[in-house]
Amino acid sequence: MSTVKIKDKEFSIFIPETQILEAIQRLANKINEEMEGKNPLFVGILNGSFMFAGDLMKCIKTNCEISFIKVASYSGTSSSGEVKQLIGFNDSIKGRNVVILEDIVDTGVTLENIINQLKEHEPADVRLATLLYKPAAFRKTFKIDYVAMEIPNDFIVGYGLDYDGYGRNLRDIYKIVE
């Protein structure tokens, strides 16, 4: 499919599944190298990261655990800047080498909130991994350790990412047609 319609908006194909999976494999190679023997705890941010987390975990070779938290920060096609925890962290974070898995970093507001909340649980180390990163929209100063793909400042859907709840099931990534 080269275009899809979701609710009132039209989207055109932007990143096909094969490219997504190649980028994830490259990211996993780096994580495998750097986290070997560190017993990492991956923490996926729901809902958006579920597909990324699934495909990434299949490429992780080192001993690890995975868990998820759920936040809500976005409505429609622009960031609200507010982050609500719907499913929170638990106490098993203490002393762990945590790798946060995010679908996309836009302004960075969501991730900064999550990092601050996570640090209260006293992890040994916190690293950040994201499938997508919009450098032109980023307003924060923290370092993102693992970025699978950088993209321009357009609204996208698919591969876990939604437009008002829909489109998460698409296996490719689509860009909004303005």
Which stretches of the chain bind Mg ion, using CB under 5 A? 48, 103
* 3-class state of residue 15 by DSSP: strand
**How many whole angstroms separate alpha carbon 116 and alpha carbon 109?**
11
Task: For the CB of residue 39, give the shortest distance to Mg ion in the complex, in Å.
Answer: 26
CB nearer Mg ion, residue 27 or residue 114: 114
CB of 88 to Mg ion, least distance (A): 16
> Does the active-site annotation cover 164?
no
Nearest to 132 by CA among 4, 15, 5: 15
Binds ligand 5GP (CB under 6 A): choice among 99, 110, 126, 170: 110
Peptide bond into 47 cis (omega under 30): yes
The Cα 171–Cα 17 span in angstroms is 6
Per-residue binding string, ligand 5GP, 30-69, x by CB under 6 A, is ------------------x---------------------
